[in-house]
């Protein structure tokens, strides 16, 4: 049976995941690295969020859950209506009706923590029914303590669609179907002043067929198998259990493209990165993790330019009062490109957001995001402002309203704006 503290932590994660999911569902123009699509409350895909306005427990509005044996089950469904001003071919607008059911199962028994997640999202474009699509995700993961070490294994399948308004997307006539299968392993040495975390991830991307200007454009040349190994080292600056730690990350990766077009050279590559920095546990006022360094990529065929660029990963949380939390983040990394004859691009994502508890069950969100893709001499930049209001109605219902305004700028295409308005209601047990 779970301890009360564990149950509260899991319920807090459910609330945080809801906030992330409902706001993200409105930002169809906002660039999303694939990491953002993984479920945050499954071991192996979870993140340490800390305590903030959006994750703090309120007893009368925390999610209800069903106890089945030693497992906690949480089903929910979100119904939403949104309007996107530039989602269809020719940047035409459409109203969108979405239904998103999900179920999460979590369990903590002795030295192990397990989680499973199954979700779907069906989007109906009222102005163009033939462009409607359905996404779904299934994930499972578990963590077990072995000889004072912690081992985590996780797997997931994601069936998704890419819109032509996404960063590095081609001008599709309809959303492009693609799938992601991933397997992850992570280890952690015994808790001490020096902690070591080795990890290994294997991810397979499979792309379907697209149509561009009425012409069939199969995207199987983008299919790839990517393997990434990482060694993260954390060292307490002042000693054991120090909230301030030095961080060193050594990362290596490689990609294999099995379906390159006959007219194009192979895009197989090897690469890696070295990052160093510091982190500080959320202490009620501040929390941060900032690492920076150099990342590179070398291609099997010399027609693609090798890369050596600055890379960075960082998050900062500031909670000046119990009712207000500020978040800032940066991600700069090398990503695989979608266009034929282009090996990769450098993605830079910057964001700052504020969550304010207007009332104990009413949370205001405001944010500003910059997403940029650099392809040698060309670039693509999105600037998105967002405003949202989350109403924690009860232990069974949430209501959410968001506005997102995005400016799309590109050196190779006409600039345009995209406005997304969304209203949603989530019912959960």
Distances (CA, A) of 68 to 62, 71, 76, 119, 220: 19, 5, 16, 20, 43
Cα gap 142→45, rounded to integer Å: 10
Counting beta carbons within 10 angstroms of the beta carbon of residue 379, is it exposed (0 to 12), middle (13 to 18) or buried (19 or more)? Answer: middle
pLDDT of residue 2: 37
Q: What is the per-residue pLDDT across 123-173, written as a single tens digit (0 to 9) for each?
A: 999 998 988 999 999 999 999 988 889 999 999 999 999 988 888 988 888
Helix (H) or strand (E) holding 151: strand 149-162
Examine the pLDDT at 6 and tell me if it is beyond 50: no
Flag whether pLDDT at 13 surpasses 70. Answer: no
What is the C-alpha to C-alpha distance for residues 177 and 197, in angstroms, rounded to an integer? 34
Q: pLDDT, tens digit, for every residue of 325-352?
A: 999 999 999 999 998 888 999 999 999 9
Please state, in angstroms and rounded to a whole number, the distance separating the CA atoms of residues 328 and 350. 8
pLDDT beyond 90 at 27: no
Q: pLDDT tens, 162-206?
A: 988 888 988 888 899 999 999 999 999 998 899 999 999 999 999
Q: Are strands 112-125 and 92-109 parallel, antiparallel or unpaired?
A: antiparallel
Mind listing the pLDDT tens digit for each residue in 272-300? 999 999 999 888 788 999 999 999 999 99
Overall size of the chain counted in residues: 429
Handedness of CA 390, 394, 398, 401 (dihedral sign): negative
> Which residue would you say has higher pLDDT here, 377 or 101?
101
Supply the pLDDT for residue 17. 38
Task: Give the pLDDT confidence score for residue 47 in this predicted structure.
Answer: 56
Q: How many CB atoms lie within 10 A of CB 200?
A: 13
**pLDDT of 19 above 50:** no
Indicate the burial class of 415 (C-beta count within 10 angstroms; 0-12, 13-18, 19 or more).
exposed
Per-residue pLDDT at 109: 77
Distance CA 345, CA 338 (A): 9
> What is the distance between the alpha carbons of residues 412 and 377, in angstroms, rounded to a whole number?
10
Please answer whether residues 197 and 187 qualify as being in contact, where contact means their C-beta atoms are separated by less than 8 angstroms. yes
Structure tokens at 408: 């799309």
Residue 429 predicted with pLDDT over 70: yes
Measure the CA–CA gap between 410 and 17, rounded to whole angstroms.
32
For residue 68, the tally of other CB atoms under 10 A from its CB is 10
Task: Give the H/E segment covering residue 208.
Answer: none
Give the mean pLDDT of the chain: 87
pLDDT at res. 15 = 34
């Amino acid at each position: 049976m779970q301890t009360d503290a564990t149950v509260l932590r899991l319920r807090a994660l459910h609330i945080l995941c809801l906030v992330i999911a409902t706001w993200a569902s409105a930002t169809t123009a906002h660039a999303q690295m694939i990491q953002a699509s993984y479920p945050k409350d499954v071991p192996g895909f979870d993140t340490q969020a800390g305590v903030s306005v959006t994750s703090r427990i309120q007893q009368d509005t925390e999610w209800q859950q069903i106890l089945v044996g030693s497992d906690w089950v949480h089903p929910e469904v979100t119904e939403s209506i949104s309007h996107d001003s530039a989602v269809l071919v020719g940047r035409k607008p459409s109203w969108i009706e979405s239904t998103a059911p999900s179920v999460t199962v979590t369990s903590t028994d002795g030295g192990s923590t397990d989680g499973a997640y199954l979700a779907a999202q069906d989007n109906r474009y009222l102005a163009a029914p033939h462009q409607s699509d359905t996404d779904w995700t299934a994930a499972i993961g578990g963590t077990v303590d072995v000889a004072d070490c912690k081992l985590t294994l996780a797997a997931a399948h994601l069936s998704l669609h890419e819109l032509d308004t996404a960063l590095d997307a081609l001008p599709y006539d309809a959303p492009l179907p693609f799938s992601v299968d991933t397997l992850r392993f992570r280890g952690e040495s015994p808790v001490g002043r020096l902690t070591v975390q080795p990890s290994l991830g294997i991810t397979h991307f499979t792309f379907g067929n697209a149509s561009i200007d009425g012409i069939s454009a199969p995207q199987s040349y983008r299919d790839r198998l990517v393997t990434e190994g990482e060694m993260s080292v954390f060292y307490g600056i002042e000693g054991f259990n120090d909230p301030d730690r030095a961080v060193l990350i050594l990362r290596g990766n490689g990609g294999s493209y099995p379906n390159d077009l006959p007219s194009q050279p192979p895009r197989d590559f090897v690469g890696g990165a070295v990052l160093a920095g510091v982190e500080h546990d959320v202490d009620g006022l501040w929390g941060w993790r900032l690492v920076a360094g150099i990342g590179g990529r070398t291609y099997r065929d010399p027609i693609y330019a090798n890369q050596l660029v600055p890379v960075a990963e960082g998050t900062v949380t500031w909670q000046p009062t119990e009712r207000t939390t500020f978040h800032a983040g940066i991600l700069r990394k090398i990503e695989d490109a979608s266009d034929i004859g282009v090996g990769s691009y450098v993605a830079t994502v910057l964001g700052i957001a504020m969550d304010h508890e207007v009332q104990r069950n009413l949370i205001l969100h405001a944010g500003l995001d910059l997403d940029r893709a650099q392809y040698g001499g060309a670039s693509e930049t999105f600037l998105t402002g967002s405003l949202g209001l989350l109403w924690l109605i009860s232990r069974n219902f949430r209501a959410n309203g968001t506005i997102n305004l995005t400016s799309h700028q590109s050196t190779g295409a006409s600039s345009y704006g995209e406005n997304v308005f969304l209203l949603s209601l989530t019912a959960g047990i």
